[in-house]
Amino acid sequence: MESNQKHNWKTILHEVIYEADTPSGKLFDILLLVFIILSIVLVMLESVVSIDREYHELLYIGEWVVTILFSIEYILRIISVKKPFKYIFSPFGIIDFLSTIPMYLSFFIVGSQALVTLRALRLLRVFRILKLARYLGASNQLKDSIIASRVKIMVFLFAVMISSVIFGTIMYLVEGEANGFDNIPKSVYWCVVTLTTVGFGDIAPQTALGQLITTFIMILGYGIIAVPTGIVSAEYVRTSQKADKENEALAQNNDNKMVEHQNDNITIHLNSQHCANCNVSNHRDNSDFCYNCGHPLHH
């Protein structure tokens, strides 16, 4: 009986923490979002010397408040899942751990010299921003486009790499150390800066021949920029046409109202629910059982 009650308590907790379909679950997610952004702003402000000098106390307290809240969240997450190790070693589990631990470490690793390194560890908490990725469910189409054009993107990156190494070496020979092209790796770096049309200008060709080659590199870069854009565009056009066709096909069997509804289902047919047993998410909206382990889902 007590075990059952405990189970119920854990089930409710699971729903609040891992799902965004209930009012309390939504509230939890919004609060979490606010605290993540707050904690990132805190880390940023601390790095500004003038602000840190004046409000050091306040920022330090803020840091501890955020750290303690994140620790509680981390523990609750572990408690409410049936298979805690699966969560702990999942990418989100590792991020949650890494964004909480640095403040505690500052107790154990004491010493004036170590403090500098500690700052770096504390900055890891900026990875909290990755927690925001939880809200990126809508990016599935984007991910699909990228996966579909994986090979093409690899070929493109390869082309950029090869061009950069060859032109970087040529520019090193042409311009030399006197004009800022100190060594080949730096020349290759400059070449990527130019090919991607970033053009910092901290290093720039000074000789006539160097400028001629640069002209060629820039026009090449102009052409290369077209490739990833073309790939993604084509992929998007394809995806949206596929969706349009599916809707048209549906439209021939149903009335228009129905189709619009089904269209919504096609594009956003997954919800944010996590299985209480295996913690897998992205279930179809009407599922009664987890598609992964068959455990019943709570609506």
Residue 73 near residue 96 (C-beta atoms within 8 A): yes
- Using CB under 8 A as the binding rule, whether residue 12 contacts a second copy is answered as no
The single residue among 83, 230, 264, 269 that binds a second copy, judged by CB under 8 A, is 230
Residues of span 237-266 touching a second copy by CB under 8 A: 237-241, 244
Interacting residues of 104 by C-beta distance below 8 A, sequence separation 6+? 67
- Token pair of 255 as six digits: 């009335």
Binding-site size, a second copy (CB under 8 A): 83
- Using CB under 8 A as the binding rule, whether residue 222 contacts a second copy is answered as yes
Residue recorded with tokens 């969560």: 87
Backbone angles phi, psi at 284, to 5 degrees: -65, 150
Interacting residues of 101 by C-beta distance below 8 A, sequence separation 6+? none
For the bound state, the minimum distance from the C-beta of residue 147 to a second copy, rounded and expressed in Å, comes to 14
Nearer to a second copy, 79 or 225 (CB): 225
Chain Cα centroid distance, residue 104: 25
Residues of span 22-81 touching a second copy by CB under 8 A: 40, 43-44, 47-49
Binding mask 173-202 for a second copy (x = CB under 8 A): x--------xxxxx-xx--xxx-xxxxxxx
Residues of span 90-129 touching a second copy by CB under 8 A: 120, 123, 126-127, 129
Nearer to a second copy, 165 or 293 (CB): 165
Angle CA 243–244–245, to nearest 5? 90
For the bound state, the minimum distance from the C-beta of residue 250 to a second copy, rounded and expressed in Å, comes to 17
H/E segment holding residue 270: strand 270-271
- Using CB under 8 A as the binding rule, whether residue 214 contacts a second copy is answered as yes
